[in-house]
Chains A and B, each alone.
Chain A
């Protein structure tokens, strides 16, 4: 490339062909993340050992965070990584370590809904929801903004400040309550 021709590389990044490649790449990454979410979910609800189920849950949540990114919400995607992958999965892993549910696993007859009947139940729920989603015509409204992070912050402190305070109180009560419940009987 001629070094004095500054428009060459810029032209490559802005012309139509590159935009087409970028769209294709975005589509491929989206498909990978879709597969990650579904495979993680399958591991989370099917794995024999609960530690593997938690790992599958973390994988599923990473895929869900990527899907939030594709839905124009990088802030919520980051929060998903922080709260779900970083906090909830680790908390569940702690519970598995503390309660050790693997030690005395029951080998008795399974309940009536486990096995094929449970699969049929979940399949019917899924097919019903997919049919409802596909056959309904959703009306798109003209948007008034792009959903920027700045507007989320402004909304949390103005229109939704009451809900914000209530959620803070709920979280505080949950923390204190879980400490009280888990502390009971600690001395024995």
Chain B
């Protein structure tokens, strides 16, 4: 298979989604601020959406279902980003920091 016809194979999209997911996991375990972790979680959600759309294009009998599902993922991700950022701002007001190591009051 030629390198120029990569966009016609399901494996290309699945591998890309896996790489994005791995980068999201890496960011999630290495970032030390809440905003950085939120950015990494957006990468993970994008990887999940790419997987849905790839299977929707190549294997699903009705290609509208995956597109609708991806639209719902986008709506939930937008809600998650809004809530997460407002929590970040509330935490910053109370602690004067968004570093995860400072937020250990619930540790007991």
B residues adjacent to A (C-beta < 8 A): 2-7, 10-27, 29-36, 38-40, 42-43, 46, 49-50, 53-65, 67-68, 70-72, 74-83, 85-90, 92-94, 96-99, 101-102
Contacts and interface: CB of A to CB of B under 8 A. Distances in A.
Q: Provide the main secondary structure of the chain B interface.
A: helix
A18 B81 CA distance: 45
A138 B59 contact: yes
A133 B11 CA distance: 7
21 contacts: A27-B3, A27-B6, A38-B20, A41-B23, A50-B33, A71-B13, A73-B56, A73-B57, A83-B74, A84-B77, A92-B42, A95-B38, A98-B89, A106-B102, A118-B29, A119-B26, A147-B67, A152-B71, A156-B68, A174-B78, A182-B86
B63 A146 contact: yes
A182 B91 CA distance: 9
Interface residues of A, number: 94
Contacts of A108: 101
> Which secondary structure dominates chain A's binding surface?
helix
Interface of A: 23-24, 26-28, 30-31, 34, 37-38, 41-42, 44-46, 50, 53-54, 57, 60-61, 64, 67-68, 70-73, 75-76, 79-80, 83-84, 87-88, 91-92, 94-96, 98-101, 104-106, 108, 110-111, 113-115, 118-119, 121-123, 125-126, 129-130, 133-134, 138-148, 151-152, 155-156, 160, 163, 167, 170-171, 174-175, 177-179, 181-182, 184-185
Given A38-B16, A57-B42, A92-B81, A121 B59 contact: no
A130 B10 CA distance: 12
B71 to A, nearest CB: 6
